[in-house]
Structure 1
Amino acid sequence: MFRPTRVIMSAVLPQLKYGYEQLEPAISRQIMELHHSKHHATYVANYNKAFEDIQAAASSSDIKKQIALQAAIKFNGGGHINHSLFWENLAPTANGGGEFPSSGPLADQVKADFGGLDGLKKAVNAAALGIQGSGWAWLGYNPTTKKLEAVSTANQDPLLGYVPLVGIDMWEHAFYLDYKNVKQSYLDAIWTVINWKEAEARLAKA
């Protein structure tokens, strides 16, 4: 009988390290507030509810219900993981957002794998614009090849098999109020608030 591991803890909505308005004009306060306090909070609440339900199903030996709850665990848990990374990916321009390092491990790796920052943006943008429906575009470090790659995941699937350095939310709730259906304009703007210091720290840990 399947029993969920006891080390799984309830998800908690993270506090942002900046104000909702501090990413403007790239991302409006309205989008940030709705995205964090409503969308992400809903993933957290739904994950916690699904986890409680799966514990109850395990206690009652209801295997069928445990199986049925796996989709909710995956979707909402993935939504929580992805968004928690996303908030850390961003920084106000006043705090260095958008400032790509001129030298160091990240700059060297980007030059080796993409030819430079412009090549990186082109590759990640292509992964983002290639998503059919909703999903995420990623700059990930492949520990097998020891290279950076631009990849995408569908819906709220987390990036597995890679170390995520930068993730870009390509769900409409992340950009539609500001950019309508012009995804390229959203992508152009979000690069101006990417937290490259965080990306470099993740690369160092990888």
Structure 2
Amino acid sequence: MSLLLPDLPYALNALEPHLSARTLEFHHGKHHRAYVDNGNKLLADSELKDRTMEEIMGQTAGDASRAGIFNNVAQVWNHSFYWQCLKPGGGGPATGKIAELISQDLGGFDKFVEEFKNAGATQFGSGWAWLVLADGKLKVTKTPNAENPLTQGMKPLLTMDVWEHAYYLDYQNRRPDYIATFLEHLVNWDFVNANLG
């Protein structure tokens, strides 16, 4: 299969004023596109080229000789997932089944917010903050660079990109402000609930 750049599920300006059209234009149109293009070049002559992204990540994670393939494919997966985690008019307290699980497994929504903010703020350098299912329970975690919880046996439910290209045009070095805005105004809880499937 070829890696594809998915269309955004909303207009470039749909997340304003929280994320600008300019940020989405660069993040989706340049950064995400580069991972797709580079990944396809690296996979062109590989025996992995007909595998799913999940299979490719599973077979290349931790293999230094295939780091280029892993990094690009995982970043395509991570970004494609991230765009779905955002929606115009999103954010605020969780709704539906995920709200019940957050209370049950994490001690309430405020505790989740505290843990998720901490995961995003303390991820040194580039990476991701995640809400995942691990052994049947919710867990907040973080990964560096292109790493993905799937390769550690966890099921991603929500992610927040904390690479600088995700927020720098709008927030400069104020990552905590971006994180707070993500939680208060952007999270797509319907998508998170759908992932519980």
The alignment status of 1:116 with 2:108, answered yes or no, reads: yes
1:149 and 2:139 aligned: yes
**Computing the radius of gyration over CA atoms, which structure comes out larger, 1 or 2?**
1
Letter in 2 for 1:189: T
Structure 1: any 5+ residue segments left out of the alignment?
Answer: 1-8, 56-66
1:81 matched to 2:77? The reply is yes
For 1:105 and 1:82, the matched residues in 2 are separated by 23
Secondary structure at the aligned position of 2:2 is classed as coil
Of 4, 7, 11, the match for 2:3 = 11
Percent identical among aligned pairs is 40
- Aligned runs of 1:47-126 on 2, under 5 Å? 47-55=39-47, 70-93=66-89, 97-102=90-95, 104-126=96-118
Please report how far the alpha carbon of residue 101 of structure 1 lies from its aligned counterpart in structure 2 after TM superposition.
4.5
RMSD of equivalent CA atoms: 1.7
Amino acid paired to 2:75: G
TM-score (norm 2): 0.86
Alignment partners' CA distance in 2, 1:75 and 1:119: 32
**Amino acid in the other structure paired with 1:200:** N
Q: How does 1:184-203 map to 2 (within 5 A)?
A: 184-191=176-183, 192-203=185-196
After TM superposition, the score normalised by the length of structure 1 is 0.83
Write the deviation string for residues 164-192 of structure 1: whole angstroms up to 9, x where unpaired.
11100010000111111111100011111
Q: Amino acid of the residue matched to residue 73 of structure 1?
A: I
**Segments of 4+ in structure 1 off by > 4 A?**
none
Amino acid at match of 1:151: T
Structure 2 stretches of 5 or more lacking a match?
48-62
8 Å contact from structure 2 (residues 101, 138) kept in 1: yes
